Amino acid sequence: VVEAVKRQMEAEGVKSQIVVVCGRNKDLHERLSKSTPPPPKRNVLGRIMRRPKVECEPEKGGSVEIIPLEFIDNPQEYMVACDVLVTKAGPGTIAEAASLGIPLMLTSFLPGQESGNVDIVLEASFGNFSTSVPEVSELVTNLMRDGGL
C-alpha cells in the first residue's frame, strides 16, 4: 500500500512525507528502509512537524519521502503531525484521530470486533474505507491534494 500511495501522489504532483510505523514488523521496516534513504537518527519527529503545507504541482511532478519507523513509544506525537491516517479500524486509534480532526483511511477491520467502527467513521464522514490498494492510493492522494474530507 505504501509504495502505491507514493506512486499515486507523485504522479499527481503531491510533495509530502509518508511516515510508516512498522512496529515489530521487521520485514516491512527492512524493505522500506532499503527503498528509501535513511532519515537522520535524531529529530525525525521535529523534521516531520516542521514540514511545509502539502504542495501540489502536477506539472512538475511530486516528491514523496517514505520514513519507516520501528516500534515507537510516542505514536500520539506522530498522529498530531499527520494530515491523513491510514490504519485498521481499531477503536482507540479512531477515537484519537477523531479528537484531533484527522481524516482516516481505514483499510481493514477485525470481523465482529471492529466492523461497526467502519460504519461509524463512514456515517460521521471523517474517513473512508477500502481494501483495494488502487482505491486506497486514490483516496489518500485526494485527501492530501484537496486538504481533507
Sheet containing strand 14-21, edge to edge, reads 55-56, 14-21, 63-69
Query: Do the Cβ atoms of 126 and 148 come closer than 8 Å?
Result: no
Distances (CA, A) of 127 to 43, 45, 53, 65, 107: 30, 24, 21, 23, 11
23 CB neighbour count, 10 Å cutoff? 13
Task: Please name the residue ranges forming H helices in 12-90.
Answer: 26-35, 44-49, 75-81
pLDDT at 61: 77
| pLDDT of 69 | 92
pLDDT in tens, 13-39: 988 899 999 999 999 999 998 876 655
Q: Which residues of the chain have pLDDT under 50?
A: 42-43, 47-52
Q: What is the pLDDT of residues 137-146, one digit of tens each?
A: 999 999 888 8
* pTM of the full structure: 0.82
